[in-house]
Structure 1
Amino acid sequence: MNKSKNDIDCSFKEDGKWFRYRAAAIIIEDGCVLFAKNELDDYYYSIGGGVHLGETTEDAVKREVLEETGVEYEIDRLAFIHENFFNGTGTLDGLKCHEVAFYYIMKPRGTQKLNSNSYVQGVREHMHWLPIDKLHQYIAYPTFFREKLLNIKDGVEHIVTHF
């Protein structure tokens, strides 16, 4: 899916700060959760991306999942709202970052088979199924997945992290 000129992410940079409104997926199959990793960074990150102006987080997460995995997933439910404050690296190097993300649990499909051919800013992304009970062995963001995915609670949990 190609981004058109009308698809503007809800994000901005100003005075050494960066903000993004993000929708992300929690895709679990056979005790593993799906993460992405690109060819430049040394860490794994959750599936998802910026919400476009005028787009709901539900529509954004379904669009992002399809773009990154090549597969249409259905939403089960909203599980986490994450306010994340961190110091930027890579393309955000030197910026104080603030991200608000809605994490949706997606309905399992019964298979880890994907049809991914994803690129972000010209860099190839690869999909990785990481065992939930071994997430502490990986540099994977968000880090709250290590604890929270072992025992997902009913309802929506609000999480704030400062790095």
Structure 2
Amino acid sequence: MYINDEKINCRYDRDNDRFSYRVGAIIVEDGAALLATNDSVDCYYSIGGGVHFGETSHDAVLREVKEETGVDYEIDRLAFVHENFFTEKCGAHKGKRFHELCLYYLMKPRGTRVINSDSWCPDGKEYLEWIPLEKIKSLKVFPDFYAEKLVNLPKDVQALVSRDVD
């Protein structure tokens, strides 16, 4: 059962460590992926966020996409299950060690890049940008597999592991 009024993310902290269960959305329109950035970072990152306790990953990705883009997208399919180990290098969680489990869903194209974003993150205002797929390799983009995988999306779900821990 989804605990709607509490909106508790599925995560826990222990000292300087955090485990986080989240979802990400892969949104591609006309050869460009929609990515986020903010004033505290020098990179781009996926649309998405924490899964609330009792919420399905499907519901979470639809909610996160609506919150960040202002648009109701539909899910095409699950594309990646990503286990990510990293130490945050900037922003509100700089220095915190993460063990993150993220389900990345491919969203159905809408035939337009028009969005209505008013998105915020712990570091402040988020900016959403359409980045041409061929340009992603030349930018700092997270998750790290986006540069390779978004250009040639696999037909089946892939399980990926990334380690960038100090």
Q: Paired residue for 2:12?
A: 12
Shift in Å at residue 105 of structure 1? 0.3
Q: Paired residue for 1:136?
A: 137
Amino acid in structure 2 at the alignment position of 1:123: G
Shift in Å at residue 5 of structure 1? 5.2
Shift in Å at residue 94 of structure 1? 2.2
Determine the C-alpha separation between the residues in 2 that align with 1:121 and 1:96: 16
Residue deviations 1:6-45 (CA, integer Å, cap 9, x gap) = 1000111103211110011000001100101112211111
Q: Match of 1:62, SS? A: helix
Determine the C-alpha separation between the residues in 2 that align with 1:28 and 1:139: 18
Instruction: With the length of structure 2 as denominator, give the TM-score of the two structures.
Output: 0.92
Q: Paired residue for 1:50?
A: 50
Q: Match of 1:58, SS? A: helix
Residue deviations 1:38-78 (CA, integer Å, cap 9, x gap) = 12211111000000000000000000000000000000000
**Regions of 4+ moved over 3 Å:** none
Q: Paired residue for 1:114?
A: 115
Does 2:127 align with 1:104? no
Residue deviations 1:66-107 (CA, integer Å, cap 9, x gap) = 000000000000000000000123222222211000000000
Instruction: With the length of structure 1 as denominator, give the TM-score of the two structures.
Output: 0.94
Q: Map 1:22-61; keep pairs closer than 5 Å.
A: 22-61=22-61
- Unaligned runs of at least 5 residues, structure 1: none
Determine the C-alpha separation between the residues in 2 that align with 1:94 and 1:111: 38
Identity %: 49
Amino acid in structure 1 at the alignment position of 2:75: I
Amino acid in structure 2 at the alignment position of 1:98: H
Does 2:157 align with 1:156? yes
- Unaligned runs of at least 5 residues, structure 2: none
**Equivalent residues, number:** 160
Shift in Å at residue 122 of structure 1? 6.7
Determine the C-alpha separation between the residues in 1 that align with 2:95 and 2:131: 30
Amino acid in structure 2 at the alignment position of 1:93: K
Residue deviations 1:114-140 (CA, integer Å, cap 9, x gap) = 011111237111111111111111111
Q: Match of 2:20, SS? A: strand
- RMSD of Structure 2 on Structure 1 (CA): 1.3
Distance 1:18 1:122, change over 3 A: closer
Q: Map 1:52-71; keep pairs closer than 5 Å.
A: 52-71=52-71
